[in-house]
Amino acid sequence: MNKQVLEGLNKQLNMEFASAYVYLAMSSYFEGIDLEGFSAWFKVKAHEEMFHAMKIYDYIGDRRGKRDMTAIGLPVKTWKSPAAAAEDAYKHECKVSESIHKIVEVARQHKDHSTEAFLHWFVMEQIEEEAQADRILQKVRMVADNPGGMFMLDNYMVERAKADAANVGKDTESEGE
Ligand code: MG
């Protein structure tokens, strides 16, 4: 595999694990403020990120590339409000998309069609990830100063967590939001 392409994939491998850590920190934050639905949902997100990481881990091995495991950065651990946490989650997904798009460009530059095809799954997945994070953010903003609304939204998140947990690890592009 081309050195730059491999570097990009290794960087992404780290970023997916770092994402799991970010979402686990969010899950813990929401648990601490008794929003168990959000806590459960972010925990599912953390699992999903580990699944993303393992996909890249396997791919690097399949291409006989050298995996470069590097230290995972410390996540932010507290937020001033649920809306601030949800905003960070959305921004984080945008950053992940950008990173994946960059590796696609490098793969294309080096005519690495296999990596480009492999990353196609991630490109499509990110459309969903961004949309999902944005929807949650908008809902949190809607009820920001309304405890009753937040209570109801948290109950909704319990159901979301259950539904999304059933999809983790399903290796399809059409998995539901
Ligand atoms: Mg991911």
pLDDT digits (tens, 9 = 90+) for 21-47: 999 999 999 999 999 999 999 999 999
Helix (H, G, I), strand (E, B) or coil at 175: coil
145: DSSP letter: T
- Tens digit of each residue's pLDDT (9 = 90 or more) over 124-158: 999 999 999 999 999 999 998 899 999 999 999 99
Q: Evaluate whether residue 87 is within a structural domain.
A: yes
pTM for the full predicted model? 0.92
Structural domains counted in the chain: 1
Q: Evaluate whether residue 62 is within a structural domain.
A: yes
User: 13 C-alpha to center of ligand 1: Å?
Assistant: 9
User: 154 C-alpha to center of ligand 1: Å?
Assistant: 23
Q: Evaluate whether residue 28 is within a structural domain.
A: yes
Calpha distance 156→88 (Å, rounded): 20
- Tens digit of each residue's pLDDT (9 = 90 or more) over 61-120: 999 999 999 999 988 889 999 999 999 999 999 999 999 999 999 999 999 999 999 999
User: 101 C-alpha to center of ligand 1: Å?
Assistant: 13
| Domain membership of residue 85 as a residue range | 3-70+79-167
CATH number for the domain harbouring residue 113: 1.20.1260.10
User: 76 C-alpha to center of ligand 1: Å?
Assistant: 17
User: 96 C-alpha to center of ligand 1: Å?
Assistant: 7
The confidence band for 176, taking pLDDT boundaries of 50, 70 and 90, is very low
User: 141 C-alpha to center of ligand 1: Å?
Assistant: 24
User: 59 C-alpha to center of ligand 1: Å?
Assistant: 15
Q: Evaluate whether residue 177 is within a structural domain.
A: no
Q: Which residue in 170, 177, 149, 167 sits closest to 37, CA to CA? A: 149
User: 90 C-alpha to center of ligand 1: Å?
Assistant: 12
Q: Tell me which residue has tokens 């997904």.
A: 93
Q: Which long-range contacts (CB under 8 A, 24 or more apart) does 76-82 make?
A: 76/22, 76/25, 77/25, 77/28, 77/29, 78/29, 79/26, 79/29, 81/144, 82/30, 82/33, 82/35, 82/38, 82/140, 82/144, 82/150
Q: Evaluate whether residue 173 is within a structural domain.
A: no
Q: Evaluate whether residue 152 is within a structural domain.
A: yes
Q: Evaluate whether residue 111 is within a structural domain.
A: yes
Q: Evaluate whether residue 174 is within a structural domain.
A: no
User: 146 C-alpha to center of ligand 1: Å?
Assistant: 31
User: 18 C-alpha to center of ligand 1: Å?
Assistant: 9
